[in-house]
Amino acid sequence: MFTLVGIVTNTHGIKGGLKVYPYTYDINRFREYKEVYIGEDKEAVHIENVSTYKNLVILTFKEFDNINQVLKYKDAEIYIKDEDRKILEDDKYYIADLIGCKVYDEDGIYYGDLTEVYSGIANDVYHVEGPEKSGDIPAVKDIILDIDTANKKIIIKAIKGLFE
């Protein structure tokens, strides 16, 4: 099994580097990875160098040495093997584990499925696609009451206007 850890946003330079938007709060974690898997076919590649620029990770690989070899990976997802996952602190989650969770309020009312997590100014934001409406939920303890990734279920506090 694999865990999604980022998405390629573009190439970097002419020597086969890739810019990656990380799906982790700690972008330096990419320095710990020796091997990652790119794209739907999960092609194994070996990391040669990791650098960061703003909120992006720049990766170069032993297998590639020019831009023409990596152009096909633009918008491709980057994975690691599940056994290479780092144990996270309490209240920290892999985005891949959150995606697809069903979102309910404390009264059991179904809001929809979590489809995206993005970084807001002060906190992460969960985008939920519902059967009739969609909306964004701030990922803060006052609103997110429980996250059960094993059962793909999130309980939120009902807030007036959240999905109106």
Residue 101: Cβ-neighbour burial (10 angstroms; 0-12, 13-18, 19+): buried
Say which CATH number the domain at 114 has. Answer: 2.30.30.240
Residue 72 pLDDT: 95
**Statement: residue 163 has pLDDT above 80:** no
CA atoms within 13 A on the CB side of 134: 9
- 80-117, pLDDT tens digit by residue? 998 888 888 888 888 888 999 999 999 999 999 999 88
Q: CB of 148 within 8 A of CB of 129? A: no
Quote the domain boundaries for residue 71: 2-84
**What percent of the chain is predicted at pLDDT more than 70?**
99
In a shared domain, residues 77 and 10: yes
Q: Is 126 inside a domain boundary?
A: yes
